[in-house]
Each structure stands twice: as structure tokens, then as C-alpha cells.
Amino acid sequence: MKKIIIILAVALLSFSAVVAAQTLDELAEIVRRAASSEGQINQEREEQFLRGRDDQRKLLAKAKAEKKREEKRSDDLKSEYDRLERVLAELTTVLQERMGNLGELFGIVRQSSGDIQAALNDSMVSAQRPARGVFLSELAQRKALPNVQELRTVWSRMVTEIAESGKVVKFNTTVERANGVKEELEVVRVGVFNAVANGSYLDWDSSKSTENLIELARQPPTRFQAMAKDLQTASPGEITAMAVDFTRGQILRAVVQSKTPIERVKEDGGPVGYVIIGVGMFGLLLCLWRAFMLYTTGGRIGKQLKNETANKGNPLGRVMSVYSDNPDIDIETLELKLDEAILRESAPLETGLSFIKVLYVVAPLLGLLGTVVGMIATFQMITLFGTGDPRMMAGGISTALVTTVLGLVVAIPLTLLHAFLQGKSKALIQVLEEQAAGIIARLAERNG
């Protein structure tokens, strides 16, 4: 660009010289000066070119030296890169191994924290030591590794729970009574198994957020409640008997949910069950009435045996009066009259026994009827709802079993009572027959 400017300047000067010349000598002078000036310019240009060439050579040599240094540095960096790659691979392997162990440890810590939290929440110790599972709940959901102190805290919670499971502790806390009222009561905790207050057994309900001790709606038998009262009033160090539920409340909950025999008969027996109970009550009353009559008659017959004078107020006296009313009768006629009197007295002694027999035969048949009714109800439930939920079929099966039991419970005692009463009746009739045979023997002996 500079060269072009110089040429243009020379051309411009030449043009201006030609324009300014007045004669040929002036023009020749002007041309000569212009040629001299152009030669000087070319010489300067050549010198400048030579200086630039030397500079370029120096720059080229410098660039080549710089290239060699950079190539050497590149080789060194490549070697270092390869070495670091190998080191990185080794460290990555070690990191993966250690991360695998830490990851496994982290998973175990989270799982263990969740399991321990569930165990602590279900434990009665939480009634005395609330909010024990908050830390464990946070640890089970945390995404960062726990530190040593937190692991020691988990271990401490576990050891504390184990230690508390072997203690009998008395403390005050809020208890929800069976009627729904919450009261501050003195509670005695037997390990992690039972808790009692005011002689009543308590249950630990971990589904609620606070005040989880609740009084059982139905308490165990009286002797177990007496044990609970004795435990509460016992002094420190005193040994007293106590019933312990090692299932941690499952048996007590079953006691609340289970039905008493009366409730089972009312709810599951149905109409057939009431009929069987009515048959049983009627049969029992009939047996008692017949037993009273037989024992009363037996007493009168026993008194008559001690007295030879016939008393018509008892069966034996009426049989003996047949001979006393007919002293001159022959033996054959007397024997017939005595047989007639015995038959007449046997009927009252056996009255009602055949009906009792009918009752103890009918009772199991009614139980079988209830069984059939219950099975019909069960199959109706299966038809409507299928077999997916066994509780839908429990009502019919319970009716079938309860009525069967009721039938057997009524039939077995009635059978035994009938056998006893029948034996007693036959014994009395046998006494009448023996005495009649004795009268005939004495008469035959006298006539002989």
C-alpha cells in the first residue's frame, strides 16, 4: 500500500512538472530530477525490503525455536496426561470400591433406622419416653451419609430399648379411658409387654400421634385385674404375681374383640339357637320336677317299708292295701290284683320320662337344622361376594357351629338326666314288685 502511494506521488509530481515547464530545458531538468528522485526512492525501497527480509528470517527462526519448545512441551504434557490417566483410572477403581462399601453401609443404616423406628413406635416405652423415633425417621429418609455420632445415637436407642424391656417402671402420663375421657394417671409398665392403671390393663396404640395408652374396653377376668392392682400397690423391691402378655398386646386385643358365650349365642345363634335354648330350659325344668317327685315318692315308700300297716298315701301302701282289703282272697286272684296295682302305680312314676327322651333326641336335630341354615347363609354370601373375603362367610359358619354346639350342650345333659331318672323310677317300681312278691309268698306259705 505504501509503495502504491509513493508511485502515485512520483506520477503526480511528474505530471505537475510537465504542466509547470515552459521550455524544453526546463522539462528536461524536471525529468532528470524526477528520475533521480525515483532512483533514490527505489534504493530506499530496496534497503527497506532487505531490512524486512532479515527481520522475517529472525522471526522465522524465533517461530521455529518456539515451535520446537511447544512440541517438546506437548510431548511432556502428553506423557503427563497419560500418567494422570492411569492414576485416575486406579483412583476411580478405589473410589468405586469404597463408594460401594459406603453405599451398602448407607443402605443398611437407612433400613435399620426405619426398622428401629417402627419397633420403638410400637413399644410401650414410648409412652414414658415420647418422640424417640423422630431422629430415626429423619435418618431413614436422609440422602447424606450419617456421621459417627449419629450412628452412636442409633446404637444408644437400641440399647436403651433393650434395657427398658427388663424393667418394671411407674410413671405418670395421659391415658384414654374406655369412655373416651383422657386422664392423667399413674401407670405401671411391665417391660414392653403390659401397662396397667387403676387395676385396668392398657393397650399401646401407635397409630395415634400423642397419648397412645388407652384402656381396654373389655378387661381380662377378675383375678388378672386383681394382679394389676397388687402390682400398682406393691412397694419397691416387693415381689408380686403378675400376668404378662409376651405378644405385646395381641392377646389383650383378642380379648377385646372376642365374644363372650352369651354374646355369641345372641349374635350367632339366631332363631334356631333360641329354640334350642328354650328346649333345653324346658327339659331341665321337667327333669328337676321329675327328680323332686321321684325322691319324694321314694321317701314315702322308704317310710312304708318300715311300717307293716298299709298307708294309702304312697304307692307301696296302696299296693299293700290290696291284700289288707281282701284278706280271704285266693292266691291267683291276689296276684292279678297286685299286678294291676303295680301297673297303676308305675304309670305316675314313669310320667314325663318319655318326653325327656324326645327332647334330648330333638335337641341335636335342631342343632343340625341350625347348621344347615348357617351353611345356606354361607353359600349365599359366596354367591353374592365370592370367596375373596373370608369375613363375609364368617357369620353363616359361626351360626352353623354355634347351633351345633347348643344342640349338643342341651342333648348331653338331658340324656344323662333321663338315664338317671329312668333308673330311679325302675328302682321304685322294683321295690313295689318285690313287696308284692313277698305278700304272695307269705300268703302261699300260710295256706300251705
End position of a domain, from candidates 39, 71, 96: 96
Residue 18 is predicted with a pLDDT of: 47
User: Domain range holding 55?
Assistant: 2-96
In a domain, 59, yes or no: yes
Does 127 map to a domain? no
184 and 201 share one domain: yes
- The DSSP line for 52-115 is HHHHHHHHHHHHHHHHHHHHHHHHHHHHHHHHHHHHHHHHHHHHHHHHHHHHHHHHHHHHHHHH
- Domain membership flag for residue 148: no
Q: Is the residue at 47 inside a domain?
A: yes
Asked whether residue 200 falls in the same domain as residue 297, the answer is no
Q: Based on the fold, state whether residues 284 and 421 are members of the same structural domain.
A: yes
Same domain, 357 and 391: yes
Q: Tell me: do 294 and 438 sit in the same domain.
A: yes
Instruction: Concatenate the DSSP letters of all residues of 230-261 into one string.
Output: HHHHPPTT--------TTTTHHHHHHHHSPPH
Q: Are residues 290 and 422 in the same domain?
A: yes
Same domain, 276 and 397: yes
On the question of pLDDT at 279 being above 80, the answer is yes
| Domain contains 109 | no
Work out the percent of the chain whose per-residue pLDDT is above 90.
Answer: 9
Residue 417 has pLDDT above 90, yes or no: yes
Count of structural domains, the chain: 3
> How does pLDDT run across 135-189, given as a tens digit for each residue?
888 888 877 777 788 888 888 888 888 888 888 888 888 888 877 788 888 888 8
Closest CA to 214 of 247, 173, 254: 173
- Does some domain include residue 320? yes
> Lowest-pLDDT range, 33-42, 136-145, 331-340, 404-413?
33-42
- The model's pLDDT over 230-275, given as tens digits with 9 standing for 90+, comes to 888 888 878 888 888 777 777 777 776 666 667 677 767 778 888 9
Same-domain check for residues 402 and 440: yes
Residue at a domain's end among 76, 96, 116: 96
One domain for residues 92 and 212 = no
Least confident of 83-87, 91-95, 290-294, 350-354: 91-95
Secondary structure (3-state) at 183: strand
Quick check: 41 pLDDT over 50? yes
Average pLDDT in the chain: 80
Do 288 and 436 fall into the same domain? yes
Same domain flag for 174 and 240 = yes
At 320-353, the pLDDT tens digits run 888 777 777 778 888 888 888 888 888 888 888 8
In the chain, how many H helices and how many E strands? 13, 5
Statement to judge: residues 250 and 327 lie in one domain? no
Per-residue cell: 335: 296276684
User: By C-alpha distance, which of 322, 370, 374 is closest to 343?
Assistant: 322
Last residue of a domain, one of 238, 255, 272: 255
Asked if residues 396 and 378 have their Cβ atoms less than 8 Å apart, the reply is yes
394 belongs to a structural domain: yes
Cα 146 → chain centroid? 31
Residue 131 located in a structural domain: no
